[in-house]
Amino acid sequence: MILEATKAGADAAMEKEFNPWLAAEARFNEAATLLGLDDGLRKVLKTPAMEVTVHIPVQLDDGRLEVFTGYRVQHSIARGPAKGGIRFAPDVTLDEVRALSSWMTWKCAVVNIPFGGGKGGVICDPSVLSQGELERITRRYTADLMDIIGPERDVPAPDMNTNEQTMAWIMDTYSMHKRTTVTAVVTGKPLNLGGSRGRVEATGRGCLFVTLQALRKFHMEPTETKVVVQGFGNVGGKAAILMHKAGMKIISVIEWDGALYNPNGIDPIALQKHRQETGSILEFPGAEEVDKHEAMFLECDVLVPAAKENVIHSKNAAKLNAKIVCEGANGPTTAEADKILEEKGIFVIPDILANAGGVTVSYFEWVQDRMGYFWNEQLVNGRLEEIMVNSFKDVVEYGERHKVHNRAAAYMLALDRVAFAIKLRGIYA
């Protein structure tokens, strides 16, 4: 009985540690306390501005009617329209969407672009749905949110299991209701419908830019830098290729179906081609297969967790052998693990800075749509680099000035900027 009670207590503690809303709240509270924010302002900053739940009736291909549940949370509109992706997944929860929307608020504030934070999700399993069923879900979800989204209110984007086709459906549905083509209602669209060049690689490229800044800070040469990448999707895959092109050695790639290791470096371009041909990173001739649960703890200079949340936690953080952690994913490190990484002296580039390249180029897309003039990729990448480099310097200097670790510094800087906007605007009553 005692063992069962102990196990139940440990399970409850881990469940609490992994709760995204509680994790976001813990980071918020730490930053708010360090800033000395009063209780009233804390409440305003912490509380989502709007939460909407919709129930989406859809006729499936076989004639059955099914009802799907969708959410849209606008955490803040103090600095501009809400901005954030829409994910389709069977395990979407309102807590998760709340947390992600707050992270978007802080992320936009860290890189100082004029957006607030939003997020959306639909509880469904895209792997068992046809393209037609996904389109019907997307269009009805969009129609149900017509009153709260728009170029000057809330601008969605792709997220987990959604893509540029999903955004095209949203843009078309919104435009049909408005009786005019409104390209700026979403970002992450196809180029032919008002998308931006450089958007697909933007998050991975942003990871490259801040990693290069961290290497410069520690006087490390890219050509002597060993990198472990967890997740070989849009973020991790693009980051690995760009880091490889910058001269870094990608010594390990970790995916859901296994992990690869080569101390002399893996060619991520060849690996990407191999996976496109075989459907897996395994049996790649350029590396040996290793335990996917242990590869993250290989000795390296840079670890890029770019898969999912909570992969670095209180039970495994002490095993990390990286000098720098560049968080390509949202929330890959729990609040409890932050303390362990700080004690180990690991330099963390927090998610709200490291993966902000995506939302930054989304901002560029929104600007281009609104002005009706589109930039070439060189201009997009140059402006992205400028923002990511300046934001990295802002966070590091803020942390050194206030004697706090980078995540606390990023949150403090973000909260400070949003709080300043609220104070300037005042409270409407």
**Active site residues per annotation:** 119
Tally of CB atoms within 10 A around 294: 13
Within 8 A by CB and 6+ apart from 120, the residues are 70, 71, 72, 73, 84, 85, 86, 87, 97, 141, 145, 156, 159
Phi-psi bin for 270: left (phi > 0), alpha (psi -120 to 50), beta?
alpha
Residue with the two structure tokens 């968080």: 327
> Do 89 and 54 contact (CB within 8 A), yes or no?
no
The rounded distance, in Å, linking the Cα atoms of 13 and 190 is 43
State the first-to-last Cα distance of the chain, in angstroms, to the nearest integer.
56
In DSSP terms, which residues pair with 58 in a beta bridge?
Answer: 66
> Which residues have CB under 8 Å from 178's CB, separation 6+?
none
- Return d(Cα 21, Cα 102) in angstroms, integer: 9
**Under DSSP, is residue 228 helix (H, G, I), strand (E, B) or coil?**
strand
Which residue's structure tokens are 């997740």? Answer: 231
CA dist., res. 97 & res. 74, Å (int): 10
Residues 6+ apart with CB under 8 A from 143: 173, 177
CA 254 to chain centre: 18
Tokens of 6: 């102990």
Best CA proximity match to 68, nearest among 146, 128, 2: 128
Cβ pair 415, 45 in contact under 8 A: yes
Kindly calculate the radius of gyration of the chain based on its CA atoms and give it in whole angstroms.
21
Nearest to 262, CA basis, from 289, 223, 232, 230: 289
Q: Could you give the CA distance from residue 358 to residue 157 in angstroms, rounded to a whole number?
A: 10
Distance CA 333, CA 22 (A): 13
The answer to whether the beta carbons of residues 395 and 413 sit under 8 Å apart is yes
